[in-house]
Amino acid sequence: MPLSALIVPADRDRLADLLVDLFDRPAGLTLTLAAEGGIGRPPLAGRMMILPLRSDLGDVSRALGCLVTDGDPGRTPRRFGIESVRIDPIDAAAGAPAPVPGSVTGVTGDRMRPVRAARLRAERPYLRLVSSDEG
């Protein structure tokens, strides 16, 4: 399903314009969302973050997104209206320094430090998931 399936029809053109901006600048988007209540559907709040990604060719043609909702979803389907938008331009010239070969960047406390990768045998870089259980 397309991303626009999560958005009310009245806000789909706005979402399309924001996505064009995300790829053209590039920029990160943070959307504050709200779904109206109704019979069997309590009001539902949400937040969506969409970040641009470079392809293997170096162009910004992909994106990574996350949607978090707060509340009981009730009966489905649910569609969200866009309440507010935050656009965070990404300045490629002021970006992070290139990683040291054979290492990945990891977070320790409030500092960033290089972390030796245990296995970097693959030709392509890989993602490493780091989580903390807050529950």
Inside any domain, residue 34: yes
- The confidence score (pLDDT) of residue 134 equals 63
Inside any domain, residue 104: no
Inside any domain, residue 52: yes
Inside any domain, residue 121: no
- The confidence score (pLDDT) of residue 75 equals 80
- The confidence score (pLDDT) of residue 59 equals 86
Inside any domain, residue 73: yes
Token pair of 3, please? 């991303």
Domain coverage including residue 56: 3-94
- The confidence score (pLDDT) of residue 77 equals 83
Which stretches in the chain have pLDDT values below 50? 94-123
- The confidence score (pLDDT) of residue 87 equals 92
Inside any domain, residue 106: no
The answer for residues whose C-beta is within 8 angstroms of residue 82's C-beta and 6 or more apart is 7, 11, 14, 15, 31, 32, 33
- The confidence score (pLDDT) of residue 108 equals 38
Q: How many domains does the chain have?
A: 1
Closest CA to 48 of 98, 102, 4, 93: 4
Inside any domain, residue 35: yes
